[in-house]
């Protein structure tokens, strides 16, 4: 019988207490990886890890603030100590704040915090993990970007951070490739996570703008992460994989407008 795709692998997933991070941790564990589930909220991390263990997987929880270098270094060291190695890093943790009505009223602290967690956080995590990923001989970094990094969907700081993360993916891929580590990014469209809680009407409207007729689920993104982290993607690095239901490739709203149909953005 063929062993699971991540048999013998160890992975660290940030922001894994809920949403895309939790789904990714579950997916990697279901395919054989030992997973360090990290989250700013330690209780959320524990719940995800417990659910993975209940399902027969291997997982440990750890509270980790990716805005704190010491906490990041501790998390990477914890993964290596607990599992004996580190093969996969998934940079999923992010921060977001609502735009001010006028750009000139944007707040410096909110801007800085969003960039620090969303862009500099993956930088800290990748820096700490890289020597261990090199040592594994099959290391992979997969970061979670966004369609916001490629097109305007609002969110000045968040979009700038995600665009920067795509650039970091490319430059780090060039640096790490000769050392045997692949670096890629998944760019999701609208995904049903806690960030959309209480906004079901907006999600329903948004679904109509997707060529595939629905918004994404966390598991859709986890599947793409698992592919890029695995040996199935052994000759892929420095790429951005859009997992967006066709949003950026097909302008559904425009097509409907030209056909005389109604449609509005969510």
Which of 9, 94, 123, 158 is the catalytic position?
158
| Selection from 121, 176, 185 nearest residue 148 by Cα | 185
DSSP string, 174-228: HHHGGGT-EEEEEEE-SB-SGGGTT-HHHHHHHHTTSTTSS-B-HHHHHHHHHHH
9 is catalytic: no
Which contacts (CB < 8 Å, 24+ apart) does range 151-154 have?
151/248, 154/99
pLDDT per residue as tens, the chain (266 positions): 889 999 999 999 999 999 999 999 999 999 999 999 999 999 999 999 999 999 999 999 999 999 999 999 999 999 999 999 999 999 999 999 999 999 999 999 999 999 999 999 999 999 999 999 999 999 999 999 999 999 999 999 999 999 999 999 999 999 999 999 999 999 999 999 988 888 889 999 999 999 999 999 999 999 999 999 999 999 999 999 999 999 999 999 888 889 986 544 43
Q: What are phi and psi of 88, to 5 degrees?
A: -135, 130
Query: In this predicted structure, what is the pLDDT of residue 253?
Result: 85
| Domain parsing of the chain, residue ranges | 10-198+216-249
Return d(Cα 94, Cα 41) in angstroms, integer: 13
Return d(Cα 99, Cα 110) in angstroms, integer: 9
Question: Does CATH number 3.40.50.620 belong to domain 10-198+216-249?
Answer: no
Q: C-alpha 176: how far from its chain's center? A: 19
List C-alpha distances in Å: 174 to 38, 82, 134. Answer: 27, 30, 14
Q: Which residue has the tokens 């417990």?
A: 50
Query: In this predicted structure, what is the pLDDT of residue 266?
Result: 39
| Selection from 213, 56, 207, 80 nearest residue 134 by Cα | 80
Query: In this predicted structure, what is the pLDDT of residue 254?
Result: 85
Evaluate whether 34 touches 80 at the Cβ level (below 8 Å): no
């Amino acid at each position: 019988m063929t062993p699971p795709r991540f048999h013998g692998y160890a992975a660290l997933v940030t922001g894994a207490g809920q949403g895309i991070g939790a789904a990714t941790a579950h997916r990697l564990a279901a395919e054989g990886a030992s997973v360090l589930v990290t989250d700013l909220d330690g209780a959320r991390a524990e719940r995800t890890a417990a659910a993975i263990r209940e399902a027969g997987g291997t997982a440990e929880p750890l509270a980790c603030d990716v805005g704190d270098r010491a906490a990041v270094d501790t998390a990477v060291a914890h993964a290596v100590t607990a599992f004996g190695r580190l093969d996969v890093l998934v940079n999923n943790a992010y921060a977001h704040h609502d735009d001010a009505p006028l750009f000139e009223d944007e707040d410096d602290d909110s801007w800085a915090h969003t960039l620090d967690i969303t862009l500099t956080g993956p930088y800290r995590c990748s820096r700490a993990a890289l020597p261990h990923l090199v040592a594994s001989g099959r290391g992979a970094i997969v970061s979670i970007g966004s369609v916001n990094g490629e097109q305007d969907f609002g969110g000045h700081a968040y979009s700038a951070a995600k665009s920067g993360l795509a650039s970091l993916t490319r430059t780090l891929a060039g640096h790490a490739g000769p050392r045997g580590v692949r670096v890629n990014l998944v760019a999701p469209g609208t995904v049903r996570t806690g960030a959309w809680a209480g906004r079901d009407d907006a999600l329903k409207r948004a679904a109509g703008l997707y060529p595939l007729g629905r918004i994404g689920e966390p598991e859709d993104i986890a599947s793409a992460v698992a592919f890029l982290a695995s040996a199935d993607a052994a000759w892929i690095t420095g790429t951005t994989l859009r997992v967006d239901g066709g949003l950026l490739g097909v302008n559904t709203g425009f097509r409907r407008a030209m056909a005389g149909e109604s449609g509005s953005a969510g």
